[in-house]
A and B are shown apart, each in its own frame.
Chain A
Amino acid sequence: MDKLKRLSECVAAGDAESAAALAAEMLGSGADPQEVLDGGLIAGMNAVGGRFKAREIFLPDVLMASKAMQAALAVLQPRLAAGGGTPRGTVVLGTVRGDLHDIGKNLVGIMLRGAGYRVVDLGKDVPPERFVEAARAEGARVIGCSALLTTTMGVMRRVVELARAAGLPVKVIVGGAPVTADFASAIGADGYGYDAGHAVERVEALAGDR
């Protein structure tokens, strides 16, 4: 079987040990690390994403695949850095100011990493300015804001305003239990994710990756 296909299957199956070993073997035999990343790891995660969307597998399966991808990525990373290769781009993520609920945000971060994005997690109780500063500093393509409270979701509007005012080429996606698509639209956000899987889909769409 084609080694890239085998690697993608190891990732999809959440077999971290085999994924890392196979990635090392492929590099050892002269494979292009970017090709290994794209054709093995990302391909595996894309397959997982498709099955997740089709409800054939669930969050833990995606996380296991993500873990396998990270294990293989750790093998590739030195060569990728040397060759300038990077994952799919950076997403700045955080729970907005006044809100200490971060479970949903953490899930989104895990899923985004699993989908191949670099995630800069600002944590919880994050001021609006901090989102924009981090986006500028990290060269982020997407800012993700999370809130669990109706009293804090309004902070998201300020994040959008500051991002627009800064003139950054960054999209803002919002989510969290009280947040709706209508609210996202009303505050001028570029996207809305109703759960972690959906958030990844929206990020991919906003970042032009799908």
Chain B
Amino acid sequence: MRPTVRFLDDALIGRIVDEARGLLEKLGVEVQDPGLLDVLGEHGARVERGTSRAFLPGALLDRALATAPRAFRLFDVLGDPTHDFTGSKVHFTPGSSALNVLDWPAQTVRRPVTADYAACAKVVQGLPHIAAQSTAFVPADVPDAIADAYRLYLSLMLGEKPVVTGAFTAEGFPLMHELLAIARGGTGDLRAKPLAVFSACPTSPFKWSRDTARNVVDCARAGVPVEFIAMPMAGFLSPVTLTGTVVQHTAETLSGIVLHQCAAPGAPFLYGGSPGVFDIRYETTPMGAIETMMIDAAYNEVGKSFGFPTQAYTALSDAKRLDAQAGLETGMGAALAVLAGINSVSGPGMMDFENCVSLEKLVVDHEICGMALRLGRGIEPREDFPALPRFEELLREEHLLISPHTRKYLKSEIAFPGPVIDRASRARWAEEGSGTLGDRAHAEVERLIGQWTPSRLADDLKGALTERMAAAAKAAGADALPPLP
């Protein structure tokens, strides 16, 4: 039995979906792109030009739901499968698009540069429980106009895992798509073996900006998967009740699915989000709040009620340093995400309200992810019955340390975190320098960077990527790309 957690019963999910459908039909969504309003109109939406609103009738929604795929896969830069977005399979991804990096020696935040991004890509490559790269932060040493594509370029050059990313503007997507196609060897191959997922974030309440709406449509037409990231904010830009916020999340996400499937029926997506509660005391949106995690798990249940693969921004923290709060919030989020069966979990490494990435936190979180994934495998009998022979063996041998049964199941039954999580005796810990969690995390970051080996992507493809990126940089006013670390 896979352990699971439920916050909504079937009747409540049904009511939430019904209410969301009603909102889409009666209140509609704002789509700030006349051309895309036309697309929705052609498919049966009632369009109100003056307010840029599209009212989505149930029949249109049902057609979109009918064509929407219930599963898809991702493949790494070498073309090997890495992600199977079906059922309750969980894949962790670092948090994405932070503005800052936590500078470990200085213990302060600063704008990241290419060297930081490269370090992150190298660390991620060495973390087996982190299944994908993300364009984790925005390098400040290239022109803003190409910053989104430049992150993707660095990921494709330095790492092998698929990339969770996003375009900052509608104009940003073609270049990013081109880079992906170069790495994959063509647009057809890219469609057949997706290499990236693009985040598409509606603006609460019920609004699709021109850039995001265009990204949704462009991705759909190119066969590049998207993850819908609705971000209702309980008590501020959505109802304070968790149920009310899930209703809003459902409506906003379904509106994205309609737009997406109208553009390209059958195009792949993740039913995701990054909702939060609003902390009126600090005017912040804590991602580490337990209610935020509950909303995540709940909308995941709504998504799964349709049979869609799901995503959430969780397993992250609002802490400013790698402290107890960082571990607590990340651990709770990771455990709940696994129990909920959220298929793609974006968050490890992230802190400070999604504004900052710490590589040291990432390696701590990686071990948390390993434990959470173990949690998800649950408790199953593994040659445990009949019990008598095992216990006869125990009494005879006085231990089971090298029993064939132990050797067969040790590593699948017991997850051994480390080297960051401390399980040494005090004496051994003292002998090894009495290091803190942060000390061990920093050492592990340096170790992973030191042991990184270049991506096995073919050199001619790397050359083509660099040529294309350099041309884009030049067009954006930069003399040259920063040197690749």
Contact = CB atoms under 8 A, between A and B. Distances in A.
Interface of A: 14, 55, 59-60, 63-64, 67, 103, 106, 180-181, 192, 194-195, 198
Q: How large is the interface on B (under 10, 10 to 19, 20 to 34, 35 or more residues)?
A: 10 to 19
B428 A59 contact: no
Given A106-B398, A106-B399, A60 B406 contact: yes
A194 B402 contact: no
Contacts of B425: 194-195
Given A67-B402, A106-B398, A106-B399, A60 B410 contact: yes
Contacts of A63: 401-402
A60 B414 CA distance: 14
A194 B401 contact: no
A67 to B, nearest CB: 7
A194 B427 contact: yes
A60 B427 contact: no
A194 B428 CA distance: 7
A194 B430 CA distance: 11
B407 interface: yes
A60 B428 contact: no
B401 A59 contact: yes
Interface in B140-193: none
Contact of A181 (B407, B410, B427): B427
Given A60-B410, A194-B427, A194-B431, 14 more contacts: A55-B418, A60-B401, A60-B402, A60-B406, A63-B401, A63-B402, A64-B407, A67-B402, A103-B399, A180-B427, A192-B427, A195-B427, A198-B428, A198-B431
A126 to B, nearest CB: 17
List the 5 shortest-distance A-B pairs measured between CB atoms, nearest first. Answer: A194-B427, A63-B402, A60-B401, A60-B402, A194-B425
Contacts of B406: 60
Contacts of B401: 59-60, 63
Nearest to A180: B427
Interface in B399-457: 399, 401-402, 406-407, 410, 418-419, 425, 427-428, 431
A186 to B, nearest CB: 15
Interface in B355-408: 398-399, 401-402, 406-407
Contacts of B399: 103, 106
Interface in B15-33: none
A169 to B, nearest CB: 27
A50 B441 CA distance: 24
Contacts of A14: 402
Contact of A60 (B407, B418, B419, B431): B407
21 contacts: A14-B402, A55-B418, A59-B401, A60-B401, A60-B402, A60-B406, A60-B407, A60-B410, A63-B402, A64-B402, A64-B407, A67-B402, A103-B399, A106-B398, A180-B427, A181-B427, A194-B425, A194-B427, A194-B428, A195-B425, A195-B427
Contacts of A106: 398-399
A195 B428 contact: yes
Nearest to B427: A194
Contacts of B407: 60, 64
A129 to B, nearest CB: 26
A106 B398 CA distance: 9
Nearest to B399: A106
Contacts of B431: 194, 198
Contacts of B419: 55
A204 to B, nearest CB: 16
Nearest to A64: B402
Contacts of B410: 60
A208 B398 CA distance: 31
Contacts of B427: 180-181, 192, 194-195, 198
A106 B410 CA distance: 21
A103 B427 CA distance: 19
A123 to B, nearest CB: 12
A63 B427 CA distance: 23
A195 B431 CA distance: 12
A106 B407 CA distance: 19
Nearest to A102: B398
A149 B401 CA distance: 24
Nearest to A179: B427
Nearest to B407: A60
A106 B399 CA distance: 9
Nearest to A192: B427
Contacts of B398: 106
A67 B407 CA distance: 14
Contacts of A195: 425, 427-428
Please indicate which of the listed interface residues B401, B407, B410, B418 has the most CB atoms of chain A within 10 Å of its own CB: B401
A120 B215 CA distance: 74
A93 to B, nearest CB: 14
B447 to A, nearest CB: 13
Please indicate which of the listed interface residues B402, B418, B425 has the most CB atoms of chain A within 10 Å of its own CB: B402
